[in-house]
Amino acid sequence: MILKVPPSAKNKMSTAPKLLIDQHGRRVDYIRLSITDRCDFRCVYCMAESMTFLPRAEVLSLEECARLVTVFVALGVSKVRITGGEPLVRKNALWLFSAIGQLEGLQELVLTTNGSQLEFQAQDLKNAGVKRINISIDSLDADRFKAITRTGELAKVLRGIQAAKIAGFESIKMNTVLMRGINEDEALNLLEFAIQQEIDISFIEEMPLGDVDHVRGSTFVSNDDTLKQLQSQYALLASTETTGGPARYWRVPNTSTKVGFISPHSHNFCEACNRVRITCKGELYLCLGQESKIDLMPLLRNHPHDDQPLIDAILASMQIKPKGHDFDLSRAQPSIIRFMSHTGG
């Protein structure tokens, strides 16, 4: 199948003069785009066991995804993360990576994946222009991995990591969500694995996104506790590196491994927030932890040959980007009703 970005979209983009600056003076230069809400896994912290996914017509086509990214890049966005759901289970996803990978002005095309398809796709993704890759892995024990993902096979993901190493991405990072009573005892093992593989690892605190099958507060593990656990074995060195997001980094001395801690519950990163998220339905969420959003799909579909309405709406959305998120684990109900797989992690 040949997929094409409409030429009108391409032409108008190069003349769009504005940058994305929000009402608090923050420059937005990073988008995270979810290209599907579907997934071959059902991780317990991300999804309920039984999920209803969106009908195809309500999901952005790959051409619409490419057109949107083209507009954002013309508005000064230099980093794009493709996520989901599981982006690599979307049919023809590789076409989208190739289309985006060629955009002038885009400095970083990166991907978050569960790794299940990487053994088949890693090299093509690298050739398409993907620079860095995050692979989610929450356990190195096959039975436990299966229990957490409900359907996943650890061996496949490990083969995916090897394929990614062979493909030669600039960096490979494992993403791990630790849960109390489930895999909190694996922090050190997982770090040791990352060191052995000469890749990075980030620990992500569980976020109250969507109604899953357990009470969120009951499984929450704070990154402060994880850091203490790792420091009992490693003299970690704090790094000043930042991505403008909720991650803090540490270096493991005498190794090439960096350890990240993504702690969305601490508010202090919001001041430097440089990102927005686009769901697979074309909703532009200005903050992961707030409901402020605009719908881009009608603008894409009602104006197939004119990007100006889209550009105007994106520029206007900067006025509703919230100052910070509003996560609260003490609430019985999830803070945000939508699942991470819908918004894109």
Q: Which residues bind ligand SF4 (CB under 6 A)?
A: 39, 41-43, 46-47, 84-86, 114, 136, 341
The strand pair at 171-177 and 132-136 is best described as parallel
**By C-beta, is 263 or 317 nearer to ligand SF4?**
263
Helix (H) or strand (E) holding 74: helix 62-74
The tokens 């994305």 sit on which residue? 20
User: Which of the choices ligand SAM, ligand SF4, none does residue 207 contact, using the CB cut-off of 5 to 8 A by kind?
Assistant: ligand SAM
**By C-beta, is 82 or 273 nearer to ligand SAM?**
82
**By C-beta, is 70 or 175 nearer to ligand SAM?**
175
**By C-beta, is 175 or 317 nearer to ligand SAM?**
175
| In the complex, least distance from residue 46 CB atom to ligand SF4, rounded to whole angstroms | 3
Q: How many Å from the N-terminal Cα to the C-terminal Cα in the chain?
A: 29
| In the complex, least distance from residue 184 CB atom to ligand SF4, rounded to whole angstroms | 17
| In the complex, least distance from residue 111 CB atom to ligand SAM, rounded to whole angstroms | 9
The tokens 């053994």 sit on which residue? 119
| In the complex, least distance from residue 175 CB atom to ligand SF4, rounded to whole angstroms | 9
**By C-beta, is 27 or 38 nearer to ligand SAM?**
38
Q: How many residues does the chain have?
A: 345
User: Which of the choices ligand SF4, ligand SAM, none does residue 42 contact, using the CB cut-off of 5 to 8 A by kind?
Assistant: ligand SF4
Nearest position to ligand SAM, beta carbon: 345
| In the complex, least distance from residue 136 CB atom to ligand SF4, rounded to whole angstroms | 6
**By C-beta, is 16 or 199 nearer to ligand SAM?**
199
**By C-beta, is 63 or 206 nearer to ligand SAM?**
206
Q: What Rg value do the Cα atoms of the chain yield, rounded?
A: 19
User: Which of the choices ligand SF4, ligand SAM, none does residue 206 contact, using the CB cut-off of 5 to 8 A by kind?
Assistant: ligand SAM
| In the complex, least distance from residue 289 CB atom to ligand SF4, rounded to whole angstroms | 17
Type of residue numbered 68: L
| In the complex, least distance from residue 341 CB atom to ligand SF4, rounded to whole angstroms | 4
In angstroms, the CA 253 to CA 324 distance is 34
Token code pair at residue 128: 């398409």
Note whether 88 and 134 are within 8 A (CB): no
Determine the Cα angle at 153 with ends 85 and 120, to 5°: 70
Number of Cα atoms under 13 Å in the Cβ half of residue 39: 32
* DSSP class of 19: -
CA-nearest of 212, 203, 270, 207 to 231 is: 203
The strand pair at 237-238 and 247-251 is best described as antiparallel
User: Which of the choices ligand SF4, ligand SAM, none does residue 209 contact, using the CB cut-off of 5 to 8 A by kind?
Assistant: ligand SAM
The strand pair at 200-204 and 293-295 is best described as unpaired
**By C-beta, is 36 or 257 nearer to ligand SF4?**
36
| In the complex, least distance from residue 13 CB atom to ligand SAM, rounded to whole angstroms | 27
Note whether 174 and 167 are within 8 A (CB): no
Non-local CB neighbours of 22 within 8 Å, separated by 6+ positions = 28, 286, 318, 319, 321
**By C-beta, is 5 or 60 nearer to ligand SF4?**
60
User: Which of the choices ligand SAM, ligand SF4, none does residue 83 contact, using the CB cut-off of 5 to 8 A by kind?
Assistant: ligand SAM
| In the complex, least distance from residue 291 CB atom to ligand SF4, rounded to whole angstroms | 21
Q: Which residues bind ligand SAM (CB under 6 A)?
A: 39, 45-46, 83-84, 86, 112-114, 136, 175, 177, 204, 206-207, 209, 340-341, 345
Note whether 17 and 264 are within 8 A (CB): no
The tokens 């929000």 sit on which residue? 22
